[in-house]
């Protein structure tokens, strides 16, 4: 009887030790947590990436495929996630979004991540999570070179559903709200507005795509607005997923790959017209690469 009790005690002790060891050393799935999007990605073997169709040079369509600075960053995240999750293959499914649908499609679990031109703000952080900043956009203003006082309307074009629109509205500006950067540039060319205010790289890309007509447009920094932190948008509160994305961003910033990507999309000629934006790396973005962070500029 004593031997039986001793053996039973040993068995219970071993089981307890085994359970404790599992609790101390969680698997990757336990690390990510049951609520993490990482678990769904592992189970389906698919990562759903959001992209914009015309946000040159960050995310846009070329020959039927998403390309751009943000797209390359998203692909790098996918490569690292495949290795982290221990998958032989990770499929990428691309899902188009717009300025008005990008956040709803994230909050309804339709897309897993978006790395394009979404600005990290405190108000948006109530709905979605953000990675480290991968680009700091400065505000610019586009005007017609041939403009005269007699031809001015007093209106400033601005893309609706953007942080710039919210700021100008609060300042009481006479605004012409447009649905896209393309529409804003056309409104400027057609004399419907005297100026078009927005993010400098987006203004530069639209001017570039106008070809000869773009030569009639001057582009300058306003210098009077808070910079905007572009970051990858992720599911709200998914700290495990955010941590993995940040690991990739930190690696890209540390080994110089982010600088090479910037040169590829902002300095070198890009599709479809094989023309260059010629936008040098600004000081704020360089500082973000030196000290990766997830802090908005508000």
Residue-range definition of the domain harbouring residue 212 = 139-221
Count the alpha carbons within 13 Å of 26 in the hemisphere toward its beta carbon: 7
Segment 3-46, tens digit of pLDDT: 444 444 434 444 343 433 333 333 343 343 446 999 999 999 99
d(C-alpha 240, C-alpha 75), whole Å: 18
pLDDT of residue 82: 98
Counting as low any pLDDT under 50, the low residues of the chain are 1-34
Segment 124-134, tens digit of pLDDT: 999 999 999 99
Tokens of 210: 């106008």
Q: Do 238 and 132 belong to one domain?
A: yes
Tokens of 2: 């004593």
Q: Do 211 and 232 belong to one domain?
A: no
pLDDT of residue 240: 97
pLDDT of residue 143: 93
10 Å CB burial of residue 29 (0-12, 13-18, 19+) is middle
d(C-alpha 220, C-alpha 224), whole Å: 12
- Domain membership of residue 19 (yes or no) is no
Q: Do 195 and 246 belong to one domain?
A: no
DSSP-derived 3-state class of residue 188: helix
Task: Give the count of domains, the chain.
Answer: 2
Domain termination site, one of 221, 244, 259: 221
Q: Do 255 and 133 belong to one domain?
A: yes
CATH number at residue 183: 3.40.190.10
- Domain membership of residue 165 (yes or no) is yes
d(C-alpha 95, C-alpha 17), whole Å: 46
Core vs surface per residue 223-250: b (16+ CB within 10 A) or e: eebebbbbbbbbbeebebbbebbbbbbe
Contact 73, 115 (CB under 8 A): yes
- Domain membership of residue 22 (yes or no) is no
pLDDT of residue 27: 39
Q: Do 286 and 203 belong to one domain?
A: no
DSSP-derived 3-state class of residue 157: strand
């Amino acid at each position: 009887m004593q031997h039986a009790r001793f053996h039973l005690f040993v068995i219970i002790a071993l089981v307890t030790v085994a359970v404790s060891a599992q609790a101390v050393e969680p698997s990757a799935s336990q690390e990510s947590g049951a609520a993490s999007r990482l678990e769904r990605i592992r189970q389906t073997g698919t990562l759903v990436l959001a992209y914009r169709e015309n946000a040159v040079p960050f995310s846009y369509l070329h020959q039927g495929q998403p390309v751009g600075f943000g797209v390359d960053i998203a692909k790098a995240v996918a490569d690292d996630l495949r290795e982290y999750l221990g998958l032989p293959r990770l499929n990428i499914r691309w899902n188009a979004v717009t300025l008005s649908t990008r956040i709803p499609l994230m909050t309804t679990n339709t897309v897993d991540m978006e790395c394009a031109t979404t600005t990290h703000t405190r108000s948006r952080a109530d709905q979605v999570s953000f990675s480290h900043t991968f680009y700091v956009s400065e505000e610019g203003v586009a005007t017609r070179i041939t403009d005269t006082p007699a031809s001015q309307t007093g209106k400033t074009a601005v893309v609706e559903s953007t942080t710039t629109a919210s700021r100008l509205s609060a300042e009481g500006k006479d605004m012409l709200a447009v649905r896209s950067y393309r529409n804003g540039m056309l409104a400027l060319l057609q004399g419907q507005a005297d100026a078009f205010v927005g993010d400098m790289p987006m203004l530069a890309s639209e001017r570039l795509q106008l070809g000869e007509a773009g030569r009639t447009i001057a582009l300058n920094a306003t210098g009077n607005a808070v910079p905007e932190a572009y970051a990858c948008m992720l599911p709200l509160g998914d700290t495990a997923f955010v941590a993995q994305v940040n690991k990739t961003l930190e690696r890209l910033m540390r080994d110089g790959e982010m600088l090479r990507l910037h040169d590829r999309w902002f300095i070198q000629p890009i599709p479809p017209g094989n023309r260059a934006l010629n936008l040098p790396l600004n000081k704020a973005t360089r500082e973000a690469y030196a000290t990766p962070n997830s802090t908005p500029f508000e």
